[in-house]
Amino acid sequence: MQFGLMSVSDITEDPTTGHTPSEAEKIQAAITIARHAEDAGLDVFALGEHHNPPFWSSSPTTTLAAIAAQTERLIVSTATTLITTNDPVKIAEDYAMLQHVAGGRADLMLGRGNTGPVYPWFGQDIRQGLPLAIENYNLLHRLWREDVVDWEGKFRSPLQGFTSTPRPLDGVPPFVWHGSIRTPEIAEQAAYYGDGFFANSIFWPAEHYQRLITLYRQRYAHYGHGAPEEAIVGLGGQVFMRTNSQDAVREFRPYFDNAPVYGHGPSLEDFSEMTPLTVGSPQQVIDRYAGMRDLFGDYQRQLFLIDHAGLPLKTVLEQIDILGAEVVPVLRRELQKDRPVAVPDAPTHRARVRAVFGDGPGRQARPGANRGDNLTAGSPYQDAATPTGSSFGTAASVGR
């Protein structure tokens, strides 16, 4: 199991002091939080992508590269990379570069985002959201696995003899999670490619995400990637803790009530009952999240949202200390108990390189690869066996 933090990068007034931090303060705070997460024994720091106030993280790879340079073992990831409005060529380049900078400690979570106006800002039509997600990821998948790509689709100009640079580190692309709040087609897409599925379960009841995860597991097996229990699942969550649960509720309530994502809606108590939000003692958090396996099966990654809603940096760091000292060590033990042998570990770059190349070194990109010859022919990481019978395999199937 991997445990970590995810940040939505909101800039929100602290309702208890009236202070609203600047963009500069929040950007530096994110780097501090990520370093502190590693010091506390957490495994992952994931950062969202947004292009509108009150969020600051329009270029997550820049921030994640800075974090990677200041940490030693922390996996840096995204809590959403917009597959619909980013050019897949630029995603391929940026995240391969991040992978190199981080020494392999990088992956990404793809999603469509939750801000409708972002589509026209980047020249796209929100009504084409799903076809964009399908076509763009098909191209991204190929760019990381074929040294020379000829491609034509509906939503961008064709490519002829194109090589994305740098090539993935050791010949193995970054691991991809497909994140979704509500869309079964995204679970299907993750299953088709044998990628991870991340249920960002911070808003809706568990029953909704059970349906999505069950669909993903079934389709993962359908496409021949392994048994349903071998599928790679991640979950989102939210916590706020103090030694005494009453203190936690009293301290967190004004932040909850004024949060931009759920403030002025359901009460703290109702929202906590409907979603994984747990406000209370460390033991209450342990009890709640140890039970996630009963709801969703064995899974690989648990991310917590804690640096939002105007919470000051000092409080966020205190929450990380509680997670690292009192909660995560117990959850690691509890979620490992009676874990079936067939359930895979969370993906890491080193393990994925070993799966392809054994104990030998990974493949190094050849200088000047883009010379019109497809260098992936016969290589162990070529798309040699693309599943059939699905709309996810070709750009031509997406409205062309």
**Most confident region among 191-195, 207-211, 375-379 by mean pLDDT:** 191-195
Question: So what's the pLDDT on residue 376?
Answer: 44
With beta carbons less than 8 A apart as the criterion, state whether 325 and 243 touch: no
Range 101-132 burial, b when 16+ CB lie within 10 A, else e: bbebbbbbbbbbbeeeebbeeeebebebbbbb
Q: If you count them, how many residues does the chain have?
A: 400
The encoded tokens of residue 303 equal 């991310």
DSSP SS3 for 216: helix
pLDDT (tens digit, 9 = 90+) per residue, 60-94?
Answer: 999 999 999 999 999 999 998 888 888 999 999 99
Average per-residue pLDDT in the chain?
A: 88
pLDDT of residue 131: 86
Amino acid making up residue 395? A
- Number of structural domains in the chain: 1
Which is it for strands 233-241 and 175-180: parallel, antiparallel or unpaired? unpaired
Cβ(26)–Cβ(351) under 8 Å?
no
Q: 125 forms bridges with which residues in the sheet? A: none
Distance of CA 277 to the CA centre of its chain: 19
CATH number assigned to the domain comprising residue 60: 3.20.20.30
Query: Which amino acid is residue 380, in one-letter code?
Result: P
Provide the 8-state DSSP code for 348.
Answer: -
Range of the domain at 144: 2-397
Match 């002829």 to its residue by tokens. 160
Per-residue pLDDT of 342-378, as tens digits, reads 999 999 999 999 999 888 777 777 655 554 444 444 3
10: left (phi over 0), alpha (psi -120 to 50) or beta: beta
Query: How far apart, in whole angstroms, are the C-alpha atoms of residue 175 and residue 196?
Result: 8
Q: In 252-371, at which residue ranges do the beta strands (DSSP E only) sit?
A: 278-280, 301-305
Kind of pairing between the strands at 278-280 and 233-241: parallel
How many CA atoms, within 13 angstroms, populate the side-chain half-sphere of residue 127?
A: 1
More confident residue, 16 or 52: 16
